[in-house]
């Protein structure tokens, strides 16, 4: 825990101002009709100007857009950490560990496929807790086992060490990545309260917990649906993340085998059923899991927005900004990649998360 009082007013004012500068839905419609160079030009006139100019000499086309997005994202999230103090800092830092997990996954995949360290580096988003020297050392190692040793002393060392044995047996990266995800989500709710145990019932803190639970639930739902769809013979319980309210471990195990029951289970839940009604209908008759995942993203985003207007001066606004920014980055990336491979406008629009 960092010392000192937190300063939610300051952080909120800045975050809300930046939130207002994000691209609007009309902007995406404009972007869909542009080619990669058009998108880059559009971004140059927006708040991505500095990154485009810095990277413009080295890259071009879709790569330029991609690296610009990553760098801009890292800049903004690093700013969040710079501004905030006290408890607010702890909460934000905890949530931004998401990018540590992302970076570690990227590095592990890179080591696995023996990719050049410089190439791995361009895909990293330096917005998490791990510092540069650690990342540098991680990039230098040749074996995944050494990478786990480098992480010694961080929260990831232990779960990765355990998962490594499984990795050695099966040769699949899934256990390692899963261990990272679970470590992240289980740390999110640390010190704030476990279900039914000293959990704050009211006030911003309760909302924060509620939001995190929603995120964990959605993650569980997504994993379960993916498993149900793939029909793979994997133990769903090993993908289960503690802390959600939608499923418990045993429920998940039975539900994964029955796709329709799984969808019904989500629809019956009074917390999310109404909110996801549209998406669930689609899920029932369509084959597209992507649509549903985007609906989950949109629902989570909307949820975060609602929370941030219930408690104006709390962490909720920051979380909602983080989600909104991520969505923007993902949307622009989807448009740029979609244009590159020649998808038509409707197809790209389906890939976007639009509220």
Partner 1 sequence: MSEIDLLNAVLQNGTVEESPFLTDAGAAALAVGLSTLAAGYAERGIGAAAIGAIAEDDDLFAQGLIMTVLPETMVILALVVVFIVS
Q: Which of 4, 9, 162, 354 binds partner 1 (CB under 8 A)?
A: 9
Mark the segment that binds partner 1 (CB under 8 A) among 7-15, 203-211, 249-257, 294-302: 7-15
Strand partners, 194: 197
Nearer to partner 1, 8 or 128 (CB): 8
Stretch that binds partner 1, among 11-19, 60-68, 129-137, 175-183 (CB under 8 A): 11-19
- The distance of Cα 61 from the centroid of its chain, to the nearest Å, equals 25
- The answer for 58, left when phi > 0, alpha when psi is -120 to 50, beta otherwise, is alpha
DSSP at 240: -
76 lines the binding site for partner 1 (CB under 8 A)? no
Residues in the chain, overall count: 355
Q: Does 82 bind partner 1 (CB under 8 A)?
A: no
Q: Can residue 12 be called a binding residue for partner 1 (CB under 8 A)? A: yes
Least Å distance, CB 45 to partner 1, is 17
Q: Is 10 in the site for partner 1 (CB under 8 A)?
A: yes
- Give min distance, CB of 313 to partner 1, in A: 7
Position 72 contacts partner 1 (CB under 8 A): no
Give the range of 9-17, 91-99, 131-139, 172-180 binding partner 1 by CB under 8 A.
9-17
What does the angle CA 178 – CA 180 – CA 182 come to, to the nearest 5 degrees? 70
Nearer to partner 1, 9 or 116 (CB): 9
Contact status: 46 vs partner 1 (CB under 8 A): no
Decide: is 17 part of the binding site for partner 1 (CB under 8 A). yes
Whether 327 contacts 310, CB under 8 Å:
no
Instruction: Scan residues 283-322 and list those touching partner 1 (CB under 8 A).
Output: 313
For 5-37, letters b (16+ CB in 10 Å) and e give ebebeebbebbeebbeeebeeeebeebbeeebe
DSSP state of 197: B
Q: Is residue 22 a contact partner of residue 324, using CB atoms and an 8 Å limit?
A: yes
Q: How does 269-285 read in b/e, with b if 16+ C-beta sit within 10 Å? A: beebeebbeebbeebee
3-state secondary structure of 294: helix
11 binds partner 1 per the rule CB under 8 A = yes
Residue (7 or 269) nearer to partner 1, CB: 7
Q: State in angstroms the smallest separation of the CB of 10 from partner 1.
A: 4
Applying CB under 8 A, the residues found at the interface with partner 1 are 7, 9-14, 17-18, 83, 313
């Amino acid at each position: 825990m960092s010392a000192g009082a937190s300063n939610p007013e300051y952080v909120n004012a800045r975050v809300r101002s930046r939130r207002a500068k994000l691209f609007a839905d009309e902007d995406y419609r404009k972007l869909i009709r542009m080619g990669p160079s058009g998108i880059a030009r559009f971004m140059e006139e927006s708040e991505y100007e500095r990154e485009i100019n810095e990277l413009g000499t080295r890259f071009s086309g879709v790569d330029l857009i991609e690296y610009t997005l990553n760098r801009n994202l890292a800049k903004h999230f690093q700013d969040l950490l710079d501004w905030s103090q006290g408890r607010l800092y702890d909460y934000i830092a905890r949530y931004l560990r998401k990018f540590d997990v992302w970076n570690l996954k990227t590095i592990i995949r890179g080591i696995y496929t023996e990719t050049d360290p410089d190439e791995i580096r361009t895909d990293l988003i330096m917005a998490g807790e791990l510092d540069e020297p650690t990342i540098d050392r991680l990039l230098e190692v040749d074996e995944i086992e050494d990478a786990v040793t480098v992480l010694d002393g961080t929260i990831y060392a232990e779960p990765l060490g355990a998962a490594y044995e499984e990795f050695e047996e099966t040769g699949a990266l899934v256990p390692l990545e899963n261990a990272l995800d679970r470590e992240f989500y289980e740390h999110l709710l640390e010190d704030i309260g476990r279900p039914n145990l000293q959990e704050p019932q009211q006030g911003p803190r309760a909302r924060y917990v509620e939001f995190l639970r929603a995120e964990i639930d959605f993650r569980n739902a997504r994993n379960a649906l993916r498993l149900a769809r793939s029909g793979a013979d994997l133990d769903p319980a090993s993908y289960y993340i503690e802390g959600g309210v939608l499923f418990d471990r045993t429920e998940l195990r039975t539900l994964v085998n029955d796709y329709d029951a799984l969808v019904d289970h989500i629809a019956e839940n009074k917390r999310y059923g109404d909110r996801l009604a549209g998406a669930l209908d689609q899920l029932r008759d369509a084959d597209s899991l992507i649509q549903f995942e985007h609906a989950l993203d949109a629902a989570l985003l909307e949820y975060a927005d609602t929370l941030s207007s219930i408690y104006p001066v709390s962490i909720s606004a920051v979380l909602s900004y983080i989600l909104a920014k991520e969505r923007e980055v993902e949307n622009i990336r989807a448009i740029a990649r979609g244009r590159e491979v020649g998808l038509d406008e409707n197809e790209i629009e389906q890939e976007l998360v639009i509220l």
